[in-house]
Amino acid sequence: MIGILLIFHGSKVSSWNEVADGYKKLLERFFKNVEYGFLEYSKPTIKDAINTLAKKEDIDTIIVVPVFISEGTHYKRDIPKIIGMDNEGYISVDNKRVKIILTDALGVDERIALIIKEKVEKIANNLH
């Protein structure tokens, strides 16, 4: 069975936790095992969240979803290092090997552009 790990950058501002929790709840409509972790500043950490998933008896694969627009240094270097994947793409937690699959960043996506359009129109329509 799969687990889903959402990764957010994190911030000293507490609203990051509310956003992350909101996405977790939305995705729990579709997937049974969803957790989130923050790269920095906030809790839970990526390591804490991935360990929570990996320790569940029925999870053998964790799909890691960085909630980032592009694939910069955090995506390419920091996230794999924090997760602690071996060369075969596995982690070991409590003598259990779990496959880790890292998705692409969100990238350019028409659905995101439509959200931006909606936000701009909402403000622009109230200007006149």
pLDDT of 71: 73
Q: Output the pLDDT for position 74.
A: 60
CB 102 within 8 A of CB 74: no
Token pair for 92: 């070991």
Query: What average pLDDT does this structure show over 73-90?
Result: 84
Closest residue by Cα to residue 50 from 1, 98, 86:
98
Distance CA 3, CA 1 (A): 7
Pairing mode of beta strands 61-66, 2-8: parallel
pLDDT for residue 122: 95
- The whole-angstrom separation of Cα 71 and Cα 56 is 29
pTM above 0.85, yes or no: yes
Provide mean pLDDT across the span 98-110: 94
Question: Exactly one of 4, 7, 9, 25 is catalytic; which is it?
Answer: 9
What mean pLDDT comes out for the span 6-23?
A: 90
Give the per-residue pLDDT at 45.
Answer: 96
Q: How confident is the model at residue 89 (pLDDT cuts 50, 70, 90)?
A: very high
Q: Are the CB atoms for 67 and 7 separated by under 8 Å?
A: yes
Rounded distance between C-alpha atoms, residue 47 and residue 64, angstroms: 12
Structural domains of the chain in order of their starting residue, each with its CATH number: 2-125 (3.40.50.1400)
9 as an active site residue: the answer is yes
Residues 22-52: pLDDT tens digits? 999 999 999 999 999 999 888 999 999 999 9
List, in order, residues 6 or more apart from 15 with CB less than 8 Å away. Answer: none
Confidence of residue 127 (pLDDT cuts 50, 70, 90): confident
Q: Decide if pLDDT at 100 tops 80.
A: yes
